[in-house]
Structure 1
Amino acid sequence: MKILLVKLSSLGDVVHTLPVVQDIRAAFPEAQIDWVVEKAFAPLLARCEGLNCVIPCEIRRWRKSFWTAATRQEWGAFRAELQREAYDAVIDLQGLTKSALVARLARLAPGGKRYALANQTDGSGYEAPTRWVADVAISVEPHIHAVRRSRELAARALGYSPAAATQFGLKVPAASAKIHEHFPQGRIAFVHGTSRADKEWPLSHWVALGQRLHTAGYQLVLPHGNAAEQATSRAIAEALNGTAADSAVVLPLLALDALTEELAQCAGVIGVDSGVSHIAVALDLPHVQIYNFDTAWRTGPDSQDGRQLSVYAQPAPGVEDVWQAWLACSAAGAAA
């Protein structure tokens, strides 16, 4: 059986869809699973167990210059790669016009079908073409977590029951056992960057939390994805290193696969609602996810063992709330 998954973006949505691959592998061990995704997120999918082929596209960029010869050439090359295989099932897990277009262009094997969502779910985008293009449109419960929505859609499309446990299937090197003499508890990553300013946590809160973690024996690691986030990382590091040298380290700009490796070496992650924080969930790290909006039920950690928690308050959670959540997560991680 050859299966094509269509989930183009964004990073958090792609991470939430990873368990679908592991569910299909468990149900159909011999299945060939391919995935179409925006090129920026392809390095992450390269670390996903069980994927046969990652087909990158750049629809976000192409639609801004669709009239140019270069874009037409790139689009033609993408279309040729997309249609190289004939699929028994094409599953649009995104539910937008752009994903419906990709699903429509994919080539079906004799008897193959296209599957998609038949309805919008709470808090998620949805556009009618996804339903029009599908041979089979599947309705799911409107009030559902993003991970469970994708898992349920794929399971119903292919006729299997997903496992109770959620497996993300990211391949990463084993965490190093080396302990720094000044930071016996290891490293904690602060994921402060997000695409929306209203999801950010105050700079002063990051510094205050960093001081507590340093006192507890942790070193802080500060990733970033652009110049603005790099400036914030440097500001946090400067504030923390002013009182205790080397208590915070600003990482270089890393590709997603390298950043995933870096996170996997950490003792835990504390971050806002962002794609990188969701990678921490997929890595099963002790993790606190900070929410300024009551949306954690839809996108936040869905952990049952207490290793991963979300903290919500308006206008933003306080330092003490996040600190107590971290203590609970780290304790649960130590007990596991």
Structure 2
Amino acid sequence: MKILLVKLSSLGDVVHTLPVVQDIRAALPQAQIDWVVEKSFAPLLARSEGLHRIIPCEIRRWRKSFWTAATRQAWRAFKHDLQQEAYDAVIDLQGLTKSALVARLARLAAGGKRYALANQTDGSGYEAPTRWVADVAIAVEPHIHAVWRSRELAARALGYRFAAAADFGLKVAAAPAKTHEHFPKGRVAFIHGTSRADKEWPLSHWVALGQRLNTAGYQLLLPHGNAAELATSEAMATALNGAAAGSALVPPVLALDALAEELAQCAGVIGVDSGVSHIAVALDLPHVQIYNFDTAWRTGPDALGHGGRQLSVFAQPAPGVDAVWQAWLACSTAGVAA
């Protein structure tokens, strides 16, 4: 059986969909699973156990220059790549017009069908063309976590039951945790970057939390993905390294696969609600996720069954340093024998 998953973006949504691959592999071990995704997220999917083919696209970029010859050529190349296989099932896991278009362009095998969501779920985008294009539109419970939304849709489309625990299936190279002579507990990554300013945590809070972690024996890793995030990382590092050189490290920009490897060698991650924070969840790292809005029920780690190793903290206008620190203490010691 050949199955095509369509989940183009964003990073957090792609991460939330990863367990679908492992669910299908467990239920249908002979299935060939392909996935269409925005090119910038393809390196992360390359770490997904069991994917046969990753089909990259750049719809975000193409729609900004759809009239150019270069875009038309790139679109034709993508369409040719997409249609190399005929699929028994095409599952639109995104529910938007752009994903419906990709699902419609995909080639079906004899008897094959296209599946999609029949309804919007709380807090998620949804556009009607997704169900117009589908042969089978499947209604799911509106009040549902993002991970379970995708798992439920795929399971009902393909006729299987999935295990309660979500297996994200990310492959990372085994390597010892990175340590420093003055920070024997290893590194904690601060994921401060987010596409929405109203999800950010105050810089002063990050610095105060970093000081506590340094005192407790942790070095800090401050990744970034753009110039604004780099400036924030450098500001944190300047504040923290003034007390002790090497307290905080600012790495170069890393592709998502390399970033996943770097995070996997950390003692844990503390971050705002962002795609990179969700990678920490997928890696099953001790993790605190910071929310300025009461939306952790649909994107946060608490509901995913990680035995207290991953928690979300919510307050308005933003959680305090003490609340995040206490959550970190709980996450970092969960499952450790007294």
TM-score, normalised to structure 1, is 0.99
The equivalent of 2:239 in structure 1 is: 239
Contact 1:303 1:309 in 2 (8 A): no
The equivalent of 1:306 in structure 2 is: 308
The equivalent of 2:132 in structure 1 is: 132
Q: CA deviation at 1:180?
A: 2.5
The equivalent of 2:165 in structure 1 is: 165
For residues 191-237 of structure 1, give each alpha carbon's deviation from its aligned partner in whole angstroms, at most 9, with x where no partner exists: 00000000000000000000000000000000000000000000000
The equivalent of 2:221 in structure 1 is: 221
Contact 2:210 2:220 in 1 (8 A): yes
Task: Give the 4+ runs in structure 1 shifted more than 3 A.
Answer: 333-336
Q: CA deviation at 1:178?
A: 5.6
Change in CA separation of 1:335 and 1:196 when aligned onto 2, cut-off 3 Å: farther
How far apart are the structure 2 equivalents of 1:283 and 1:112?
Answer: 34
Change in CA separation of 1:333 and 1:263 when aligned onto 2, cut-off 3 Å: farther
Contact 1:306 1:332 in 2 (8 A): yes
Q: CA deviation at 1:335?
A: 4.7
For residues 148-175 of structure 1, give each alpha carbon's deviation from its aligned partner in whole angstroms, at most 9, with x where no partner exists: 0000000000000011211000000124
For residues 69-104 of structure 1, give each alpha carbon's deviation from its aligned partner in whole angstroms, at most 9, with x where no partner exists: 100000000000000000000000000000000000
Matches within 5 A, 1:77-156: 77-156=77-156
Gaps of 5+ in 1: none
Aligned identity (percent) is 86
How far apart are the structure 2 equivalents of 1:178 and 1:94?
Answer: 37
How far apart are the structure 2 equivalents of 1:299 and 1:278?
Answer: 9
For residues 32-52 of structure 1, give each alpha carbon's deviation from its aligned partner in whole angstroms, at most 9, with x where no partner exists: 000000000000000000000
The equivalent of 1:323 in structure 2 is: 325
How many aligned positions are there? 336
How far apart are the structure 2 equivalents of 1:149 and 1:160?
Answer: 15
How far apart are the structure 1 equivalents of 2:191 and 2:314?
Answer: 16
TM-score, normalised to structure 2, is 0.98
3-state SS in 2 of match to 1:228: helix
User: Are 1:12 and 2:24 counterparts?
Assistant: no
How far apart are the structure 2 equivalents of 1:177 and 1:201?
Answer: 27
How far apart are the structure 1 equivalents of 2:52 and 2:273?
Answer: 30
3-state SS in 2 of match to 1:257: helix
The equivalent of 2:69 in structure 1 is: 69
Contact 1:292 1:315 in 2 (8 A): yes
- AA paired with 1:117? L
RMSD, aligned CA? 1.0
The equivalent of 1:195 in structure 2 is: 195
Contact 1:260 1:279 in 2 (8 A): yes
Contact 2:97 2:128 in 1 (8 A): yes
User: Are 1:264 and 2:260 counterparts?
Assistant: no
Q: CA deviation at 1:333?
A: 5.0
Q: CA deviation at 1:303?
A: 3.6
- AA paired with 2:181? E
Contact 2:177 2:265 in 1 (8 A): no
Deviates more, 1:11-20 or 1:181-190: 181-190
3-state SS in 2 of match to 1:334: coil
For residues 254-293 of structure 1, give each alpha carbon's deviation from its aligned partner in whole angstroms, at most 9, with x where no partner exists: 1111111000000000000000000000000000000000
Gaps of 5+ in 2: none
Contact 2:180 2:219 in 1 (8 A): no
How far apart are the structure 2 equivalents of 1:226 and 1:70?
Answer: 26
Q: CA deviation at 1:244?
A: 1.2
The equivalent of 1:207 in structure 2 is: 207
How far apart are the structure 2 equivalents of 1:303 and 1:137?
Answer: 26
Matches within 5 A, 1:266-285: 266-285=266-285
How far apart are the structure 2 equivalents of 1:82 and 1:102?
Answer: 9
Q: CA deviation at 1:250?
A: 0.4
Contact 1:286 1:333 in 2 (8 A): no
